[in-house]
């Protein structure tokens, strides 16, 4: 069945007629097409660029493909039609072509330091084993490797890089040599500098970014996925749990949390590519991309059109999922009102279409 959608297409801001022929888009009229939406504002499918469908609520790995699929469908039903899984302890390559699941850009498991990361989530390795592990996880994903750049070091009593600088740089080099992109989890100031200067493709969280490093990211085109919702919700809790044993770390984490909106705003103003990511999985529920977009707007000062780019057509282009141009992928969401005027509209799509099939 060929579907027909008419509406104001963003970001072009023009009334268009789109014909969805299977999994592809054309503007050439198709006789007999079924009109499924005749008015409203049309966006390429939304993106959650930091999501974990391989981690169940509560923080343990999912144990079946069905569990991972269900979590992905929760996101899908809100209009998120592409996901970058930024590290999964459970492999699910069979979902890559599942017609009911959003487009997937996947990392393998987190590559993490020994006994210095979340239990059961990453592959924990010493420095000498990092390159081989990165190469293996490059094969396990479909285009990304996830590195843990820093975490609490109990011997130091604060955040510290996962490994020495040479090892961190080698991890990025190994990922690139394997033909995949590398992204890094960082909270502190030291590891993120090493990784940006090493050429990492994406920084996750990035609470420790400084002004000069933000400028370097803008120059290099290094992406930032700030996960503002997760930083606001969890860093204070982490600090409270650690305060008795590690008071310096606790103070550091709270300071990073409190200063983060200004960091994201500085990155935005400097021209750093920013993308929407919720960090769903574990402590953050799935289906909250709209809330993350609102935080970018309200707390970091991103203009509504730029937030939409960060969570729709710009993020899709970054991940390699074509938008709604001729021959593009038939993934779209339709809204009754203009989300540029009120971003809250994003939470209530009237129509969700994935791979040329009406979801709602």
- pTM score over 0.95: yes
The pLDDT value recorded for residue 104 is: 98
- Bridge partners of 16? 7
| CATH homologous superfamily, domain 47-319 | Metal-dependent hydrolases (3.20.20.140)
From the candidate CATH numbers 2.30.40.10, 3.40.50.1970, 3.90.1200.10, 3.40.50.300, the one assigned to the domain spanning 2-42+324-358: 2.30.40.10
The pLDDT value recorded for residue 275 is: 99
The pLDDT value recorded for residue 203 is: 99
Q: pLDDT 10s per residue in the chain (360 long)?
A: 999 999 999 999 999 999 999 999 999 999 999 999 999 999 999 999 999 999 998 899 999 999 999 999 999 999 999 999 999 999 999 999 999 999 999 999 999 999 999 999 999 999 999 999 999 999 999 999 999 999 999 999 999 999 999 999 999 999 999 999 999 999 999 999 999 999 999 999 999 999 999 999 999 999 999 999 999 999 999 999 999 999 999 999 999 999 999 999 999 999 999 999 999 997 899 999 999 999 999 999 999 999 999 999 999 999 999 999 999 999 999 999 999 999 999 999 999 999 999 999
The pLDDT value recorded for residue 58 is: 87
The pLDDT value recorded for residue 283 is: 85
User: For the chain, which residues make up each domain, given as ranges?
Assistant: 2-42+324-358, 47-319
The pLDDT value recorded for residue 73 is: 98
Copy the structure tokens of residue 2.
């060929």
């Amino acid at each position: 069945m060929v579907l027909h959608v008419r509406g104001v297409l963003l970001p072009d801001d023009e009334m268009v007629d789109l014909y969805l022929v299977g999994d592809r888009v054309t503007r050439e009229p198709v006789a007999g097409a079924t009109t499924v939406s005749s008015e409203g504002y049309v966006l390429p499918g939304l993106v959650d660029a930091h999501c974990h469908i391989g981690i169940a609520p509560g923080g343990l790995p999912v144990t079946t493909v069905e569990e991972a699929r269900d979590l992905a469908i929760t996101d899908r039903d809100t209009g998120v039609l592409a996901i970058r899984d930024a590290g999964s302890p459970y492999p699910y390559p069979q979902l890559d072509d599942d017609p009911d699941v959003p487009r997937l850009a996947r990392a393998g498991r987190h590559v993490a330091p020994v006994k210095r990361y979340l239990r059961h989530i990453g592959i924990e390795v010493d420095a000498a084993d990092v390159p081989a592990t990165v190469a293996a996880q490059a094969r396990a994903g479909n285009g990304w490797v996830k590195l843990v750049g820093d975490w609490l070091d109990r011997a130091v009593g604060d955040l510290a890089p996962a490994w020495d600088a040479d090892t961190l740089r080698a991890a990025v080099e190994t990922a690139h040599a394997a033909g995949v992109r590398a992204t890094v989890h960082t909270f502190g100031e030291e590891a993120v500098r090493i990784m940006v200067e090493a050429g990492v493709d994406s920084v996750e969280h990035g609470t420790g970014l400084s002004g000069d490093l933000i400028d370097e990211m803008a120059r290099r085109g290094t992406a930032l996925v700030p996960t503002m919702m997760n930083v606001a919700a969890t860093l204070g809790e982490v600090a409270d749990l650690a305060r008795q044993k590690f008071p310096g770390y606790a103070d550091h984490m709270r300071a990073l949390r409190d200063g983060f909106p200004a960091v994201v705003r500085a990155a935005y103003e400097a021209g750093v590519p920013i993308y929407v990511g919720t960090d769903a999985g574990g402590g953050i529920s799935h289906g909250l991309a709209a809330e993350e977009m609102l935080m970018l707007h309200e707390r970091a000062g991103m203009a509504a059109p730029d937030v939409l780019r960060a969570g729709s057509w710009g993020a899709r282009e970054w991940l390699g999922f074509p938008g709604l141009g001729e021959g593009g992928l038939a993934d779209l969401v339709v809204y009754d009102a203009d989300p540029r005027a009120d971003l809250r509209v994003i939470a209530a799509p009237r129509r969700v279409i994935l791979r040329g099939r009406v979801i709602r």
